[in-house]
Amino acid sequence: MKRLLMIALLFVSIFSFAQSSNTELLLPDSLGWKLGSQAYTFRLFSLEEALIKMKSIGLKYVELFPGQKITKNGTATTAFTATAEDKALIKKLLKDNGIKAICYGVVSGKNEEEWRAIFEFAKELGLEHITTEPPMNQLETLDKFCKEYNIRAALHNHPVPAVYWHPSILLDQLKNRSNMIGVCGDIGHWVRSGLDPIACIKALQGRIWAFHVKDLHIFGSKAAHDVPWGTGVSNIAGVLNELKQQGFKGYFSVEYEYLWENNLPVVQESTQYFMRVAKRINAGN
């Protein structure tokens, strides 16, 4: 009897821990923050496998990227040219894992026909925005489709010399555009470009829709690689504190581009760090 009681208590303890862990993962909701993952973090795996990995650590949101195999044994991908059948399968996998697709990228159209296909893909999947790095001469077309489909676009910054690498370039291109176009700030790429992420966020205040979050081991080098959040030079805690001050509401996507074969443990470590910092910020400390 005593043994059965001990087993029951152990089960309750494990269940309670799992429940508290899941609750903790939802803490940013009180700040208007949503934490998910760029599917590219798990690019060596199919979307089906990536979603299972995300679900296992409590992530509820995903940013899809073009070209990922949908299933492990299939050949169809998440390209915006996906068939109706393929898109139905993507939606089923998302539903089965309790994960919401919130955006798609980084993707750009070569012409209006491709842009329309991208926006049709986003509409079918119920996405909130498209992450993109279009040539500057396509921004008018992009703005037009954003308004037509009521889907926002977020300009992404790859490292220098990419087209939108510096906040001043982004601001210059955004000043004549509607509020349907904003920014997906890639924290790691700012660090690779030798830019202070907090200064970048201050410069872009009010125009950032989402983030790709990376903590890197060295500053100002394209050779920098990911490390668990809070252990590198990206000052993730400082970034989150600045965003709280700005009243930022939006999405953070884990984009861990290192240890590709088995990065789930460090992704989980990073999300747990995010939650600890968010909890302190939420408490006003």
* Predicted model pTM: 0.90
Q: Among the CATH numbers 2.130.10.10, 3.40.1160.10, 3.40.50.620, 3.20.20.150, which is that of 2-282? A: 3.20.20.150
Report the distance separating Cα 68 and Cα 51, nearest Å. Answer: 12
Q: Looking up tokens 């899809």, which residue turns up? A: 64
CB 163 within 8 A of CB 183: no
**Where do the H-state alpha helices sit in 57-128?**
84-97, 112-124
Report the distance separating Cα 42 and Cα 191, nearest Å. Answer: 22
97-133 pLDDT, tens digit each: 999 999 999 999 999 999 999 999 999 999 999 999 9
Nearest-CA neighbor of 60 among 243, 251, 190? 251
Report the distance separating Cα 228 and Cα 271, nearest Å. Answer: 9
Tokens of 42: 């798990």
Nearest-CA neighbor of 57 among 237, 275, 251, 252? 275
Does residue 84 register a pLDDT over 90? yes
Does residue 284 register a pLDDT over 90? no
Nearest-CA neighbor of 198 among 246, 154, 249, 235? 235
pLDDT reported for residue 285: 58
